Amino acid sequence: MSIDDQEKTQDERREFFRIDDSIRVSYRVIPVADIPTSIDEQLRAGERFTVMTRLQEISQHLSASMHRIEQRDTDIADYLKALDEKINLLGRSFLTEARELLDQPSRQVNLSAGGLAMDITEAVEVGSKVEVKMLLLPSFSGLLAYGEVVGTEPSEGEDEGYPYHVRINFTMIRGSDQDALIRHITRRQGEMLRHRREMKELEEDGT
């Protein structure tokens, strides 16, 4: 297997890692005609809640340059970090326009870069097309995706207000947003593993 094939296989595995997570999410069933030909067109049309994701995308792109600057001049690096923080604070101000997400409580979901599953309030038919808006925590990264309902069944959860469980596969999502989702999932997995390790060490110390 070539190096390119190995990297592709690793990317595919990361893409479909699944975690149980708490995020803010909203969805709506839409007709096929409402699905845009390009998700970039929809974002340009005013989906400002995704601005933090765009800013983080730029920061990720500049991370190598920032590391070199830190090695050469710490004062300039500190100034640029403070400027970056100011820009992030400005970016978060755009979230005030995303009331449908900000007014939502955090929801438990099973999340991957290829889709999500969650409990919902009303039944949705398999095959339905949906628009999904997500706000990842604590980064407040806003993601927009379109998907298809691939499964729905009675919920096994304890909250009677969410009697149905739905599974959605993403059919349209920006590549950079999917990368942001993969980074979020990988980071959350690392946090969970550290927590388990710490709990195990505490149990061993207590015996």
CA angle 23, 140, 170 (to 5 degrees): 55
- Confidence at residue 140, expressed as pLDDT on a 0 to 100 scale: 80
- Confidence at residue 22, expressed as pLDDT on a 0 to 100 scale: 94
What distance separates the 2 farthest-apart alpha carbons in the chain?
A: 62
Is residue 8 in a domain? no
Is residue 6 in a domain? no
- Confidence at residue 119, expressed as pLDDT on a 0 to 100 scale: 96
- Confidence at residue 108, expressed as pLDDT on a 0 to 100 scale: 94
- Confidence at residue 16, expressed as pLDDT on a 0 to 100 scale: 60
Is residue 141 in a domain? yes
> Tens digit of pLDDT per residue, the chain (207 long)?
444 454 444 445 445 688 999 999 999 999 998 888 877 665 554 556 666 666 767 777 777 888 888 888 888 888 888 887 777 666 666 665 566 677 778 899 999 999 999 999 999 999 999 999 998 888 888 888 999 999 999 999 888 889 999 999 999 998 888 888 998 999 999 888 888 888 888 877 766
For the chain, the domain total comes to 1
Looking at the whole model, is its pTM more than 0.75? no
Is residue 10 in a domain? no
Is residue 182 in a domain? yes
Query: Assign residue 140 a region: left if phi > 0, alpha if psi is -120 to 50, beta otherwise?
Result: left
Closest by CA position to 177, among listed 22, 26, 50, 31: 50
Is residue 188 in a domain? yes
Tell me the residue range of the domain where 190 lies: 22-32+39-206
Is residue 3 in a domain? no
Is residue 155 in a domain? yes
